[in-house]
Amino acid sequence: MAVLSLTPDDALPPPDLQRALIWFSQAAAAGHSNARRYFDSLQRVRSTEDAVTIVVELQREDLSIDCDSQFVEAMRCVDGRGKTLTERETAMRRAHRLLESLAERGHTASLYQLSLLYLHGQGLPKRDPHRALSLCYEAACRGFVEAKVAYGVYFHWKPEAADMGNAPG
């Protein structure tokens, strides 16, 4: 589902708070999961600037929740318990697609998990240790602790890689 993302700096026609409330009310009545939250939040504001700020903040929350739920789904795909070999392979390809999408949006845990898929060649035609190391490095730079540990362990056991200029970045 496509999401219209707004920022306070977007050059849009002046917002019509009353019309927004009508649309959110109708969407909530139709069962849209977040429309009720938007409607309730907007009923309390009186200025259009406050309304735009609230909508932008709610969209950030929605994007974060969406990323987290997709990450959980990817991790379910990675967990191969109770699946046949064919089911596991299909699930790993799905995990790869989900994690790639999340990594492109900057989801740090996805960068690290994706590095593991590349390292082991799961959900991929073949292993790609260089891509794995690059993703792990990016996750480590963004502060993901497991990636920092994994990256440090790699260079502890392969110090020649750092000396030869093979470190990504």
User: Does residue 103 carry a pLDDT above 80?
Assistant: yes
- The DSSP result for the chain, as a single string, is -------TT---SPP-HHHHHHHHHHHHHTT-TTHHHHHHHHHT--SHHHHHHHHHHHHHHHHHHHHHHHHHHHHHHH--TT--HHHHHHHHHHHHHHHHHHHHTT-HHHHHHHHHHHHHTTTSSS--HHHHHHHHHHHHHTT-HHHHHHHHHHHHH-HHHHHTT-S--
Dist. CA 138–CA 150, nearest whole Å: 12
pLDDT at 2 over 80: no
Average pLDDT, the chain: 76
pLDDT for 61: 58
**Paired tokens of 7:** 């920022």
Q: Using one digit for the tens of pLDDT, what is the confidence trace for 21-45?
A: 777 777 778 776 666 766 677 767 7
Q: Evaluate the CA torsion angle 149, 150, 152, 156 in order and state its sign.
A: positive
What architecture is domain 47-163?
Alpha Horseshoe (1.25)
- Cα(19)–Cα(25) distance, rounded to whole angstroms? 10
Per-residue confidence at 12, pLDDT binned at 50, 70, 90? very low
| pLDDT given at position 33 | 65
pLDDT higher than threshold 70 for residue 165: no
Task: Taking residues 151-165, report their average pLDDT.
Answer: 63
**Residue boundaries of the structural domains of the chain:** 47-163
pLDDT in the model for residue 110: 92
